[in-house]
Every structure is written in C-alpha cells, then in structure tokens.
Structure 1
C-alpha cells in the first residue's frame, strides 16, 4: 500500500510495532531476569564486570528500539496514517521473534548466557521459546488480512 499524506502507512505501522515489541521484550528481559532475579547477564562468559557492561549495552539497545518505534508511531499518528492492527501485529511479532532469537540463537548457538544456571533448563527453555512462538503466531495472525487506518481527526 502506498503511503500518502493522509493514507494508511501499513509498512511503517508494522515497523513501529516491531521496534516497540523488541524493545519491550528486551526491557522485560533485562529488568526481570538480569536485574531483579540476577539469573544471568547478557554475556556470562567472562567477569562480573564484563557481564554488567554487556547488560548496559543491551539495555541501551532495547531502549533505543522503543524510542525509535515510538517516534515512528507518533509520526504516523500526526499524519493520521496509523494502522492499529498492524502496530499491534508488529508488536507481538517483534516481541515473540526477540524471545525465540534470544532463546535459541543467543542461549543455544552462541552460548552467551542461559536463562538460569544450576537448574534443569528444559522447563525454562520451553516456557521461554513457546511464549515467544505464541507471540510470533499472534503477530502473524494480526498481520494477515485487511486492516484500516484510524482517522484521528
């Protein structure tokens, strides 16, 4: 769909949602699992200091995604071109894809960290990756089919 000054911006709506979804997932991961529960750091293959620095970079990246996504969303709102169903679909897709990427690639392939240490990982891995897969499915369902822009006049 072509974006005009007053027309819906489907692709930008999806992108705004994806960025916000990725950022929210990163924020929750960093805040809950890194800071509150102390289960792991973004990079656990070195010293505690290196882990804390990696957490800071990860946290900054998550906030950057949220800020850019919100600026895109605000611009869409200003131009009255937001497609809410696409924003929500992108949000769920971004959040779910982040979870699955983190759980499979960062945890298993790269070995940057595990969800938790000194426990049976299977229940944690299943919960992490299944919740992410559900987010991807919900996002994909929302992105399929027709959606209308909301006229915010």
Structure 2
C-alpha cells in the first residue's frame, strides 16, 4: 500500500500553523496583554507618533497572518481535490 503524497497536507498544515500562531500572538500578546509590538519603539511608547508606528507595524503583521492563514486554507482545499493525497489521521 502506497503512502501517497503527503506534501500538500504538510504545506497546508505549516501555513495554517504559522497563520493561526500569528493570530494568537497578535491578539493575545499585542492587543490584549500589550506585552510587545512588532516594532519596539520606547516602551511604554512615550508619544503619539511612537504609538502610531507600533500600531502600523502590528497592523502589517496582522495582515500577514491573514494572508498566510488564507493560503493555508487554499492549500488544504487544493489538497482535498487531489487523488494522490492520503486523508488519514496519521497525516
């Protein structure tokens, strides 16, 4: 019995893991706990300009995590349409 082509599932899993991990970091650590930002201006930010810079870079990070997550969903969708990709719990 052939193991099949697991590469598409591994790629989808990696993309979803990075994207969803970024969501946890961005939402929990950036926004709720405010432990860090993507660009570390003086902490705590000492003026409105530094706060805006931190917010801009956090926004770019959040946009990146959205794109990576969407790419992971797309990769999973494409893998599901392939006959050579095994759909087992082990994969």
Normalising by the smaller structure, the TM-score range is 0.7 to 0.9
TM-score, scaled relative to structure 1: 0.47
Maintained 8 Å contact 1:43/1:50: yes
User: Paired residue for 1:26, among 22, 34, 46?
Assistant: 22
TM-score, scaled relative to structure 2: 0.76
Instruction: Give, in angstroms, the shift of residue 83 of structure 1.
Output: 4.4
Instruction: Please identify runs of 4+ aligned residues in structure 1 that moved more than 4 A.
Output: none
- Gaps of at least 5 residues in structure 2 are 43-49
CA RMSD of aligned residues (A): 1.9
Does 1:59 find its partner at 2:62? yes
Partner of 1:144: none
Number of aligned pairs? Answer: 80
Partner deviation per Cα, 1:103-124 (whole Å, 9 max, x = no partner): xxxxxxxxxxxxxxxxxxxxxx
Distance 1:82 1:28, change over 3 A: farther
- Gaps of at least 5 residues in structure 1 are 1-6, 87-153
